[in-house]
Amino acid sequence: MPGRKAYPFDVIEPKWQHYWFDRELFRAADPGEMGSEKPKFYVLDMFPYPSGSGLHVGHLEGYTASDIVARYKRMKGFNVLHPMGWDAFGLPAEQHAILTGTHPAVTTKQNIDNFRRQIQSMGFSYDWKREINTTDPSYYKWTQWIFKRLFEKGLAYVAEAPVWYCPKLKTVLANEEIVHTPEGPRSERGNHPVIKKPFRQWFLKITAYAEKLLEGLELVEWPESIKEMQRHWIGKSEGAVVKFSVEGKDIEIEVFTTRPDTLFGVTFLVLAPENPLVTKLTESGFKELVEQYCAATSLKTDLERTELSKNKTGVWTGSYAIHPITNEKLPIWISDYVLMTYGTGAIMAVPAHDRRDYDFAKTFSLPIKKVVTAERIEEETDCYTGEGITVHSGFISGLATKEAKEKIIQWLEEKKLGKRMVQYKLRDWLFSRQRYWGEPFPIIWKENAPILVPDEELPVLLPDLEDFTPTDEGIAPLARKKDWVELGNGLKREVNTMPQWAGSCWYYLRYCDPSNKETPFATEKERYWMHPHGVDLYIGGAEHAVLHLLYARFWHKVLYDIGLVSTPEPFYKLVNQGVILGEDNQKMSKSRGNIVNPDAIVQEYGADTLRLFEMFLGPLQQSKPWSSKGLEGPHRFLARVWRLFMDEDGEGLWMLRKDILEEEAPTHILRLQHQTIAGVTEDIENFQFHTAIAKLMTFVNELTKEKKRWKKVLEDLLLLLSPFAPHICEELWQKMGHKDSLAYEPWPKYDPKYLIDEEIELIVQIDGKVRGRIMVKKGIEKEEVIRKAKETEAIGKWLEKATISKVIYVPDKLLNFVLEKNLKSQ
């Protein structure tokens, strides 16, 4: 901004940032300390990954919102915990190390220092004494310790399984880290192609907590869309497992179905090509075709295989299953639309009532038997998938779907031909990575048996390496460090490392007690900060719905079950900020070249302007495009605030105005003041920060028009504005003669009597046409409003030569004079 600055933000902002930091002004009081008698409030940001490119303005949106809430809650009398730290293990630092030869620890420290500088330049009120870093051995010691508890509880195990492998990243990835695109499956990180490959890996048994993870969603105040994403990912299905014998073979095929009521409509069975039973079921004359089909299927993604619109393909095995009730022979096919990862990897096909089965039956001319009719005839189709009345189904015919399900399940259980079952789409969490920059496992191998490293030997430190590249076969880099791996007597360390998600699964708990060397956190501190329902407010991106949020909930529930935490859920209220797009309306990214760095904005306009602008762009939860031109408006607003208090002397120096009065403001100003207090308070509580700022702008505009200034009004303005623009408010508060920071000043209270509008605008019509508006007292009587209207020049001129036939009055809204026609000449 050319020329002299509109107000001296470049002097004010560093001054107050040093003041807050040097005095540890935002230090949260732990239990037993002065201040802990206040009610607590824990407001948390999803801590950032410190990348080399630094923060951009999109990152700052959530941090600004959480800081507004933190500052507001302190002024409302809460003991606020508002911490910051770094999720610093992971692939980007390692890839940088591979390209440059710089150790990941070096680049990580540089990136953290830059992020910290940028965040502190925004004036966010973090308790920096609680700063954590997931790559610090004093932190990952306890990540390893928690992994040991998972292992001891039987929730960590090693298995060989087909897993997603990224040749470019040379590491395996969890299902949740894969994005299915039209071009095929790709890594979420880097968008590289991935393939399925058998690997011996560590898994965490998150499936054991599927039901608890579903139930816990009822305890939290989260956006319904996020809850629904988690429910869908967990994928609970209730139904039955049905057993089918195989003709001429001592083999039993179990299938899971959510519609056991359609059992009489089964005309064939379909197995996933990966099902181990396929080789046993395939007759000799069919082996070549089956093997070719299985090989072709292995190259397809789950998304490609299950797409509804695709043509159905398959191969008959040559074998038959026997229907458990009718004893009919049912051909056994394999097809890629059946997945090994859901249910039992085999289905009973009911083509009359399942769309994929119907398409398959049509393709291969297989029988179709209708066993359910819709209750409304207009809903009937060749493939009716809804509920209805059972037909052609023996002893369950005539029953509604719900009753038919129950009766057939009871029959199957009595005959030992099946049982009631609940299935989940959720798969166990693949928890090991073939990379260097991660937490080492606290595991030593003796032949094929894993042994836990004793607690007193934690942390297992990450050794230094010079070559961080995994082998082309996917063997982890740590395997090169022979003197670290080989412990003698046949003992070897685990060479895989934990995924980046490990450190973020529990970081919110470490903030409660970040310096504890004896335990991950002291019981009394966890009870204080997490009671009664976990973190009070968690702000972050919706992109973490089925990754971090699901994983952290799982770890927390395990810790709850073993008595280490006091709440069944970690995060009570979740708010997802919208994405701030680039000026080209695209998501900000380095590749698009549309990233906006906050450093230049802070230098040109100041942090307060940037904070205001971030919140004024629109509703917090909505996505919105960035507009650098829009910064001028909030900056001019702050300059008007400054000039409400300050005058320039003849030499260009700013001085406190001399006309600020101690006396009470007039009624119209008091009404505006108290309405602003009420409105801003309500808007902050509802995260409507953009409308709160609009109300403050209106308040300032009206005060600017006045010839006088009133001290109490101006001070309340500073208190209301301070969560949004803290630097300028602290400076003006001090200029007004206050020695202490306003950070802990009581939040202004409104007087309800000033919230009632004493006057209202009333519409006046003549023969139904608006001819004017008048200001009247609320609740005014009809006779009084008629008199006042007639005395108004704009209305009186229409009535002076006319005869009023009728007067219609809608209290507090409108007055309509109906005139007699042609009685008077115009």
Can you tell me the distance from the alpha carbon of 813 to that of 762, in angstroms, rounded to the nearest whole number? 5
Residue 168 predicted with pLDDT over 90: no
| Residues 246, 381 share a domain | yes
Question: Cα 545 to chain center, whole Å?
Answer: 5
Average pLDDT of span 482-505: 95
Residue 523 predicted with pLDDT over 80: yes
Helix (H) or strand (E) holding 20: helix 9-22
Min mean pLDDT across 75-89, 165-179, 288-302, 390-404 is at: 165-179
In a domain, 694, yes or no: no
Task: Report CA torsion sign: 699, 700, 704, 708.
Answer: positive
| Residues 435, 419 share a domain | no
Min mean pLDDT across 186-190, 249-253, 508-512 is at: 186-190
| Residues 399, 255 share a domain | yes
* Token digits of residue 519: 């335990």
pLDDT at 475: 83
Q: What is the 3-state secondary structure (H, E, C) of 165-207?
A: EECCCCEEECHHHEEEECCEEEECCCCCECEEEEEEEEEECHH
What whole-number percentage of the chain has pLDDT above 70?
Answer: 98
590 is in an annotated binding site: yes
pLDDT at 826: 38
Q: Which of 424, 558, 544 is nearest to 145 (CA)?
A: 558
What whole-number percentage of the chain has pLDDT above 90?
Answer: 71
Burial of 569 (0-12, 13-18, 19+ CB in 10 A): buried
Task: Report CA torsion sign: 718, 603, 615, 698.
Answer: positive
pLDDT at 301: 65
Overall number of domains in the chain: 3
Can you tell me the distance from the alpha carbon of 387 to that of 522, in angstroms, rounded to the nearest whole number? 54
pTM of the entire predicted model: 0.84
Supply the mean pLDDT for the chain.
92
pLDDT at 650: 67
CB 20 within 8 A of CB 127: no
What are the residues whose beta carbons fall under 8 Å from the beta carbon of 778, sequence distance 6 or more? 756, 757, 758, 759, 760, 812
Tokens 């009081």 belong to which residue? 29
| Residues 224, 292 share a domain | no
Average pLDDT of span 240-244: 97
Express each pLDDT in 291-330 by its tens digit.
Answer: 999 988 877 766 677 776 678 999 999 999 999 999 999 9
Maximum CA extent, the chain: 120
Question: Tell me, what CATH number does 788's domain have?
Answer: 3.10.20.590
Question: Tell me, what CATH number does 182's domain have?
Answer: 3.40.50.620
In a domain, 791, yes or no: yes
Residue 251 predicted with pLDDT over 60: yes
| Residues 435, 312 share a domain | no
Express each pLDDT in 21-67 by its tens digit.
Answer: 999 999 999 999 999 999 999 999 999 998 887 888 888 999 999 99
Average pLDDT of span 659-669: 90
pLDDT at 823: 43
| Residues 251, 393 share a domain | yes
Give the start-end residues of each E strand in 533-578.
Answer: 537-540, 574-576
| Residues 258, 340 share a domain | yes
pLDDT at 1: 39
Question: Tell me, what CATH number does 345's domain have?
Answer: 3.90.740.10
Residue 516 predicted with pLDDT over 90: yes
Can you tell me the distance from the alpha carbon of 43 to that of 722, in angstroms, rounded to the nearest whole number? 18
Domain containing 181 equals 143-231+428-501
Residue 150 predicted with pLDDT over 60: yes
What are the residues whose beta carbons fall under 8 Å from the beta carbon of 792, sequence distance 6 or more? 764, 772, 774
Helix (H) or strand (E) holding 553: helix 548-561
Domain boundary among 359, 393, 424: 424
Domain boundary among 455, 471, 501: 501
* Token digits of residue 307: 């797409």
Domain boundary among 391, 424, 457: 424
| Residues 352, 272 share a domain | yes
| Residues 208, 177 share a domain | yes
Around Cβ 757, how many Cβ atoms within 10 Å? 12
Express each pLDDT in 420-441 by its tens digit.
Answer: 999 998 989 989 988 899 999 9
Min mean pLDDT across 548-552, 625-629, 739-743 is at: 625-629
pLDDT at 755: 84
Can you tell me the distance from the alpha carbon of 565 to that of 519, in angstroms, rounded to the nearest whole number? 13
pLDDT at 822: 43
In a domain, 151, yes or no: yes
> How does residue 616 score in pLDDT terms, banded at 50, 70 and 90?
very high
User: Which of 123-132, 230-239, 662-671 is the most confident on average?
Assistant: 123-132
User: Which of 369-373, 475-479, 581-585, 644-648 is the most confident on average?
Assistant: 369-373
Average pLDDT of span 616-633: 91
pLDDT at 613: 96
CB 352 within 8 A of CB 265: yes
Can you tell me the distance from the alpha carbon of 682 to that of 605, in angstroms, rounded to the nearest whole number? 29
Strand partners, 452: 443
pLDDT at 824: 43
HSE (CB half, 13 Å, CA atoms) of 594?
15
> How does residue 825 score in pLDDT terms, banded at 50, 70 and 90?
very low
* Radius of gyration of the CA atoms of the chain, in A: 35
For 44, which DSSP code? E
In a domain, 163, yes or no: yes
Average pLDDT of span 492-517: 96
* Token digits of residue 558: 């395990």
In a domain, 159, yes or no: yes
For 600, which DSSP code? H
In a domain, 604, yes or no: no
Residue 759 predicted with pLDDT over 80: no
In a domain, 41, yes or no: no
| Residues 246, 222 share a domain | no
In a domain, 658, yes or no: no
Phi/psi region, residue 429 (left: phi>0; alpha: psi -120 to 50; beta: rest), is beta
| Residues 253, 371 share a domain | yes
pLDDT at 779: 78
| Residues 341, 240 share a domain | yes
